[in-house]
Structure 1
Amino acid sequence: MRIDLSDQSVDALAEIISGGSAGGYEPSIGLYRQGWRLKAWFKGVGVPFEIDGASRLSATKTAIHGAIFLDTGNGELLKRIIESAADPRDFIKEPERHATVVEYLNKHLIYDGLKLATAGRTIRLVEIAETAQVTDELLAMAAGIDFDTVSRDLDRALRAAASDPELAVTSACAVVESVCRSILVELERDFPAKQDISSLYRAVRDPLGLDPMKEGLTPDIVNDVKAVLSGLVTSVQSIGSLRTHVGGAHGKEKGFRRIDARIAKLAIHSASAIALFIIETWQHRHPGRVLPLRNEPKKHDQ
């Protein structure tokens, strides 16, 4: 991920990390950190920090600019700094402040084509161009039901879309597979012998009642809904086939690339739509019943 932070974003980030000027007229949005705490904080993210007579806020800005210089171009160092600045673990006693910090940073980061998004219990920096409404909704839903596995897979796919589209396809496929496995675990159904995306989807189709005849639809739209569900099957099969042919899990020589970011994003958004539909169908069929976080099959009593 390429990160080009504007001066305004650097200022906002420095205010959050340092807690602002000690003599400021208004309370800081961020957490106040003394000089020695700032030094320890920056050491934790791998960035040199020295005050040398400067104010804490000024020294923090200097450290961030230093990180921009040190970053190798893949954005990992700056990404780590921004995500650490909004780490929810630092705001356990003040969750409202954490929400304010994320909102404040996002108001600046949006002009750099970036935003902080919730992924399960963590915060991830993503490129706005790589997200869409359906992926945002799935991330929000996965966080709402504490579905860490889906959040991690989707986050991995979004981050890899531009730099490693083959890996992104593999992660997109894993999103649907994770949802299907969790449903089978909760229903205490056996996993299919072949645990690929198509087999797992077929395994949950009947238990979820994905049949337009069971939806109480009027006769004039039954065939239309049936066609949409048939298209869903085709999408599932196509994502699985694409993963087989280009997915990062199958190995590739250095520099290998058969698809570009457009196709990777198409797979991500398609997988997100499928996963979202499956989760919403589960919630419709089993209101109040929570899907498990883990995908391993339950051990039945002997």
Structure 2
Amino acid sequence: MRLGLAEGDASEAFNSKYKYAMSRLAGVPAEELLPIAQKLLQEVESYRLSEHVAKLEEFGRPAVTEITRRRLLSVFKTRPLATEMEEVELIQRAWPVAEIPSPLGSSGGILEDIYQHTVRNYDWEPDETLIHLGFLTCSQAQLFRFLEEVTAPVVQTLDAQASLVADLNAHLQHDGFRLAMVGKVSGSPVYKVQRAVLGSPADQGISVALHAFNPDDVHDRWTAAVERRADDPRGAITLARTLLEDVCKWILDEAETEYPDTADLPVLYRKLAKVLRLAPDDHTEQTFKQLLGSCQQIVELLGSLRSKLGDAHSPGPKRAKPQPRHAELAVNLSGTMATFLVETWRARKAEAARTQSDNKPHSHV
């Protein structure tokens, strides 16, 4: 009755609770079943029911594909599940093992299997254990719960946590998700899976351009810089400079232009400006000369800002502390310049292709 179903008499309930419930649920329209299940889960714990509900709630929403799940799984082929606690302890934190049946038919459930094959004998690799737990078939809510637990600071050392988050994000980003830092506990980052949607239309426009240019190194650097603007201004400023260095090097490599391995950002930009014909001296129109000169100044200032306010060097007791607004300015300027360089390179390649086509001899019929 609390669930909104028809009442019945005591004898019917005592004869068979299953039939008692099914006789009423059978007459409920399909669209009303989900709210009933959600209400029931407020009173009882049932992993099986919660998984069905979660999968229905997730239907039609952005999803982590099976391909991405398998790639995420591969991350755990070469590393332990936990570095600060026993793996079984992590599994019990992240999965309701008491409610997951044994894939081998053990009377003690899957937890007995895990002890047998990862503690007493080590013949299940971490990725095999995750498959038996349902990593590839569980709801997205359960998948995210595991990813957040396995990257928790109580589970991983700082170095292992940073490496694991980077490797997982490299796969999650393809489906539009990301483990984002949402706070700190005792100085260690805490991560939650979030949609990798950048803040403003300008952010999204830059993201599209940089993803099309280089979806891995360059776009990853941009996304990381954007996410750190509010919580880690120093790190965001450092990434803003590194983003421009990445773009300069990628374009110079594509243009087959050599540069010293030790070249800093101003040197890289001046070389690239010649390749792209962006040096002020390459133009006679005064407005363009001023605009391109300002671009060069922005690049040089970003390099200087990173040295003064970024996290590449020790801040010292008297170093000015950047605020989120300073990081936002640096990151936005870097993203805008990076997009301008990428689009200019694309235009120069298109011009070269047209010129080459025009210079080819044409046969006449």
Q: TM-score, normalised by structure 1?
A: 0.56
Deviation of 1:84 (Å): 6.7
**5 Å matches for 1:162-177?**
162-177=230-245
Task: Indicate whether 1:179 and 2:225 are aligned.
Answer: no
Deviation of 1:267 (Å): 0.3
**5 Å matches for 1:86-165?**
125=194, 131-165=199-233
Question: Which residue of the partner structure matches residue 247 of structure 1?
Answer: 310
SS state of the match for residue 276, structure 2?
Answer: coil
Task: Indicate whether 1:49 and 2:117 are aligned.
Answer: no
Task: Indicate whether 1:259 and 2:318 are aligned.
Answer: no
Residue type matched to 1:48 in 2?
Answer: A
SS state of the match for residue 205, structure 1?
Answer: helix
Name which one, 1 or 2, has greater alpha-carbon Rg. Answer: 2
Residue type matched to 1:262 in 2?
Answer: R
Give the distance between the partners of 2:230 and 2:50, measured in 1 at CA.
34
Deviation of 1:21 (Å): 1.5
Deviation of 1:175 (Å): 0.7
Give the distance between the partners of 2:230 and 2:65, measured in 1 at CA.
36
Give the distance between the partners of 1:281 and 1:238, measured in 2 at CA.
21
Deviation of 1:135 (Å): 3.2
Give the distance between the partners of 1:27 and 1:193, measured in 2 at CA.
48
**Deviation beyond 3 Å, 4+ runs, structure 1:** 22-33, 43-47, 51-54, 83-89, 124-128, 130-135, 211-215, 252-257
Q: TM-score, normalised by structure 2?
A: 0.47
Residue type matched to 1:142 in 2?
Answer: L
RMSD across aligned positions (CA):
5.2
Which piece of structure 1 moves more, 135-144 or 164-173?
A: 135-144
Residue type matched to 1:136 in 2?
Answer: Q
Which stretches in structure 1 are left out of the alignment for 5+ residues? 1-7, 12-17, 34-39, 90-97, 107-112, 114-123, 290-302
Residue type matched to 2:334 in 1?
Answer: A
Give the distance between the partners of 2:55 and 2:330, measured in 1 at CA.
48
Task: Indicate whether 1:224 and 2:287 are aligned.
Answer: yes
Deviation of 1:176 (Å): 0.7
Q: Deviations over 1:225-249 (max 9, x none)?
A: 2222111111111111111112211
Change (3 A) 1:135 1:85: closer
Q: Is the 8 A contact 2:244 2:265 kept in 1?
A: yes
Deviation of 1:71 (Å): 6.4
SS state of the match for residue 329, structure 2?
Answer: helix
SS state of the match for residue 235, structure 1?
Answer: helix
Give the distance between the partners of 2:169 and 2:261, measured in 1 at CA.
45
Which stretches in structure 2 are left out of the alignment for 5+ residues? 1-37, 42-48, 67-72, 74-79, 83-89, 101-133, 183-192, 353-365
Q: Is the 8 A contact 2:280 2:293 kept in 1?
A: no
Change (3 A) 1:156 1:288: farther
Question: Which residue of the partner structure matches residue 272 of structure 1?
Answer: 335
Deviation of 1:48 (Å): 2.1
Residue type matched to 1:229 in 2?
Answer: L
Give the distance between the partners of 1:148 and 1:255, measured in 2 at CA.
37
Give the distance between the partners of 1:198 and 1:275, measured in 2 at CA.
14
Question: Which residue of the partner structure matches residue 210 of structure 1?
Answer: 278
Count residues with an aligned counterpart: 229
Which piece of structure 1 moves more, 189-198 or 156-165?
A: 189-198
Q: Is the 8 A contact 1:150 1:178 kept in 2?
A: yes
